[in-house]
Amino acid sequence: MQSRRGCVLLLAVACLWTSVNHFSDSFTPPLRGRARLFLDTADVKAYEELLPLGLFSGVTTNPGILSKAKVSCSVDSLKTLAEKALSYTDEFMCQSWGKDEKNLYETGLKLADINKDKVVVKVPATLEGIKAAKRLLEDGVRVCLTACYSAKQALIATGLGVEYVAPYLGRMNDKRRDGFDQCCKMHGIVGGIGGKTR
């Protein structure tokens, strides 16, 4: 029970900064508004317990979350998690892995093939990640630029045209940076240039 309560604390909050077309309306209540909550876990029991509540727009994972849940970081494992999560909700975010553009891109394509409409591929906001994100976008993959620690990265994300940018608020604050201020600046950048990045 303690671990299930802990899952509630592992929420990733993504704010919609502009209106974009919604890819699936099957689980999304029409009056939810623009803020979105994502369950940040690879714990299938948490999916079963929390996703039916209707609070979450989707699930997000990354290699660290998979490791904590003792789930292998593989396309097959993520396919199993995605199928379970998507039986309750609209989106499943999973992070590509690899040390260079080629590996990040190729893994990202495999992850997107799980479900092109509902899987969002997270790519780290590094030089190699940005190059991979550009190629994934050209192939019609939904992309989230993740591990963002600076407002400047929101400019890069919006310039690329990724669907989401994922600021790491807690980690920014842990490093004694004003994470909330950086997130507000990111919001201003996206809105100021008329981007559709969330």
Q: Which one from 45, 79, 116, 122 is the annotated catalytic residue?
A: 122
Q: Which residues contact 174 (CB under 8 A, 6 or more apart)?
A: none
Query: Per this entry, what is the length of the chain?
Result: 198
**Closest-CA residue to 115 (of 138, 136, 145, 93):** 93
* Structure tokens belonging to residue 42: 């690879």
- 131 noted as active-site residue: no
b/e code 22-51 from CB counts within 10 Å (16+ = b):
eeeeebbeeeeeeebebbbbbbeebbeebb
CA distance 79 to 91: 13
Active-site residues, by number, are: 122
